[in-house]
């Protein structure tokens, strides 16, 4: 499975803006906060890897696919510290931090397409400061998402995540997509913006639920709740998110990624084979 080198890890550690300082004596370099579970595709901040380009922001981390115009996956930590009172900024805009010469998807790239500018890291997960909320509106955090999938199925799952935080948990969340072609409000399309933005076929999420304060990934055990969901990018009236639960193994098989790679192998095997059957609200 994909792994990244120790020098790369060190580099990532130094680049991480919001990464809390650990003990300097820690033998293994700490991953950035939002990559605590690992780097599923071995993304690197190297313009020579345009289809798996690592973008580290203080609010979230992602692997960007230049030729699809969307992220492969986005990863972030959701804890009470990230939740505050900042208003939704709604300032959708191009991400100017992409390497020079790359096409920058803009808010108008989606206009009239029949697909929502669907957040990966949700606006409502980043309300600590105005800057944090605004960062979620960068177009590198968006995928063309069928409105009913985004505003119903997905919104409900996102809301449930924040409920889990309100109940005393903190979460590590990974959201991604695969395949090509979905049905928005204008019907089936494989791309929008003159082919510069790919419409994904499936949208998935993996959520690791930990009691607050146990943010050491080593404390993930075989009894840790892991919620894995895989939904079609379809505008039909979908059932609630609970009926789309699947295993991490199934998502790995569909994507080729190595998810939860920072978790101890034996624990990883147990957690990844399980399908969550816990509460859904």
**How many C-beta neighbours within 10 Å does residue 266 have?**
9
Q: Give the per-residue contact string, 95-124, with DNA (x = CB under 7 A; - = no).
A: ---------------xxx--xxxxx--xxx
Q: Which stretch binds DNA (CB under 7 A): 16-24, 53-61, 151-159, 192-200?
A: 151-159
One of 50, 102, 103, 152 touching DNA (CB under 7 A): 152
Q: How many residues bind DNA, per CB under 7 A?
A: 27
Alpha helices in 67-226 (DSSP H): 130-135, 147-148, 155-166
For DNA, the closer of residues 135 and 248 by Cβ is 135
Query: Minimum Å distance from CB 112 to DNA?
Result: 5
Beta bridge partners of 172: 77, 208
CA angle 147–151–157, rounded 5-degree value:
130
186 counts as binding DNA under rule CB under 7 A: no
Q: Which residues in the 6-65 window bind DNA by CB under 7 A?
A: none
CA angle 28–208–85, rounded 5-degree value:
100
Query: Minimum Å distance from CB 161 to DNA?
Result: 10
For DNA, the closer of residues 117 and 274 by Cβ is 117
5 counts as binding DNA under rule CB under 7 A: no
- CA distance between the termini of the chain: 34
The b-or-e profile of 159-195 (16+ CB within 10 A means b, else e) is ebbbebbeeebbbbbbbbbbbeebbbeeeebebbbee
Query: Minimum Å distance from CB 88 to DNA?
Result: 5
Q: Which stretch binds DNA (CB under 7 A): 70-78, 96-104, 154-162, 264-272?
A: 154-162
What six digits make up the tokens of 93? 């805009």
What six digits make up the tokens of 252? 């790995």
- DSSP annotation of 18: S
The C-alpha atoms of residue 242 and residue 107 are separated, in whole angstroms, by 31
CA dihedral 181, 259, 150, 168 (to 10 degrees): 180
Contacts of 194 (CB under 8 A, 6+ apart): none
For DNA, the closer of residues 63 and 120 by Cβ is 120
Q: Which residues in the 218-247 window bind DNA by CB under 7 A?
A: 240
One of 51, 159, 222, 253 touching DNA (CB under 7 A): 159
94 counts as binding DNA under rule CB under 7 A: no
The catalytic residues are 119
For DNA, the closer of residues 42 and 176 by Cβ is 176
88 counts as binding DNA under rule CB under 7 A: yes
One of 2, 18, 104, 156 touching DNA (CB under 7 A): 156
Q: What is the contact surface with DNA in residues (CB under 7 A)?
A: 88, 90-92, 110-112, 115-119, 122-124, 145, 147, 150-152, 155-156, 158-159, 162, 240, 281
């Amino acid at each position: 499975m994909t792994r990244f080198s120790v020098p790369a890890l060190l580099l990532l550690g130094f680049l991480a803006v919001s990464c809390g300082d650990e003990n300097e004596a820690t033998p293994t370099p700490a991953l950035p906060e939002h990559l605590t579970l690992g780097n599923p595709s071995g993304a690197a901040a190297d313009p020579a890897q345009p289809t798996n380009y690592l973008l580290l922001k203080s609010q979230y981390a992602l692997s960007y696919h230049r030729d699809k115009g969307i992220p492969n996956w986005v990863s972030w930590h959701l804890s009470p510290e990230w939740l505050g009172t900042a208003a939704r900024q709604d300032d959708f805009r191009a991400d100017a931090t992409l390497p020079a010469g790359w096409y920058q998807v803009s808010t108008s790239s989606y206009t009239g397409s029949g697909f929502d500018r669907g957040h990966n890291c949700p606006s409502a997960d980043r309300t600590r400061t105005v800057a944090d909320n605004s960062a979620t509106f960068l177009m590198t955090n968006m995928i063309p998402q069928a409105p009913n999938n985004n505003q119903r199925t997905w919104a409900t799952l996102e809301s449930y995540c924040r409920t889990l935080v309100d109940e005393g948990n903190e979460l590590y969340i990974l959201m991604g997509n695969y395949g090509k072609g979905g049905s928005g409000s204008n019907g089936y399309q494989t791309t929008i913006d003159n082919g510069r933005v790919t419409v994904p076929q499936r949208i998935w999420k993996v959520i690791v639920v930990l009691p607050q304060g146990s943010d050491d990934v080593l404390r993930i055990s075989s009894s840790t709740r892991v919620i894995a969901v895989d939904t079609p990018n379809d505008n039909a009236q979908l059932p609630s998110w609970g009926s789309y639960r699947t295993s991490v193994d199934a998502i790995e098989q569909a994507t080729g990624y190595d998810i939860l790679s920072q978790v101890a192998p034996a624990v990883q095997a147990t957690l990844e084979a399980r399908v969550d059957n816990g509460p859904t609200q």
